A and B are shown apart, each in its own frame.
Chain A
Amino acid sequence: MNTYAAAARAFPSLLKTGLAEMVSYRVELVIWALTATMPLLMMFIWDRVAATGPVGGYDQNAFAGYFAGTLIVRQLTTAWVVWDLNEQIRTGSISPALLKPLGPLWLSAAENLAAVPFRMLVLVPIITCICLWRPELALGLAWADVPAAAAALALGWMVYFFIQVCFGALCFYTEQSGGIYMGFYGLFTLFSGYLFPLDLMPAGILSVVQWLPFRAIIQTPVSIITGQLHGAAVLAPMAHQLAWAVICAALARWSWRHGIRRYEAYGA
């Protein structure tokens, strides 16, 4: 427990470091944020599909709202620790970071958080354009659901971050895990609600997919911030999020510790 107290004490400074880092790479960060535009493309195709009538309960406004929400959630629950670890472990630059009293994962988490304001900045013009395009879009978050939305975003980010740590820790064994991670990422785009609302999938597939961790990262926060789910209805999907956050955190912790021990055994 001692490390967590230390982490809590150090976190404000870590956040400041992370913020400075993000400020110095602001242009690159904005460009990175702009590359996450896949939901925009999907919005156009689903808009055409719904032009002749609603599809599975979604009309054009519902789709516009859903994908605007997806863009927002994607920017806020994203993480890139797997790429940091791939780079640091392969080049050995992780060694000095490991000597510090707090592990490098804390700084990665702080950087993710520090990037949020910049990522929001990218969102503003895009979301404004979508709102001008479909003024009636379904994007209505009630004040009462704001805490739930914030918690869902935080849980979604945790699931994504810890899964990435697991893949990153794989590098301790294989030296490169970017390729395997991209396989996971492909499944993520299909089964998280990133490219289409999951309820549009055939029921048989959906009944399997809803048990997987993917929807915790995108679909659950999206359905809350668009007002699709509210009140007590948010509890079940959030319990799913919480369960996966705990599982992934435990898995990340275990693989990280094992990996570190192995890394030391290299003597690198």
Chain B
Amino acid sequence: MSDTLERLMNCVELGKINKLSAFPPSLKGQDGADELSKLALDEGINPQVILNQALIPGMSKIGEKFSQGKAFVPEMLISAKAMTAAMKHLKPFFATGEIKRNGVFVIGTVFGDLHDIGKNIVAMTIEGAGWEVIDLGVDVKPEKFIETIEKYPNCVVGLSALLTTTMANMEVIVKEIKNKYPDKVILVGGAPLSQDYCNKIGASFYSRDPQGAVEYLKKVAA
């Protein structure tokens, strides 16, 4: 791997956004994800390689640390900021098709529930894993999911809920989606959920943290 890609991967993992950002102190004054992604393109590195070999592994590393309890939510969010700074330079290549995403992931907090922090963290982690994320927001009704699936027929769906009461609405959404799209892959997550509940409502996969969802999606995309 080129030195630029390696440094870019570290910047994403450690949350070094640009040269001006003081964080992390060990990289103070050095180029960040913003400058290094531009440099990588200037060096003629293929944009898909930048995404696959630097940005995705950088997010994956912080995601693994989070799963292991070695990093916390703020570090995930700082890494996402660095990733976004790098992605800004790659955006035109998505439009031209020079970079291909792993797939489309449609996510929303189920109807009745207005909590969005967990959902946002999962969305940004999955985006960082190379997926196009369609975030439907909070309080999302089954019809909205169905409508979006019609638009993106090959998408994977993610449902989030924070309360035991709204968790029950997940079952309604899963049922309605499966009625129309029996093979649709649906991931579920949220504080009150469990594997048992996932099995009970017929969802495809339950993950207790964002990285678990990323690992599962890798298998789906393969």
- Asked whether A and B interact, the reply is no
* Interface of B toward A, CB cutoff 8 Å: none
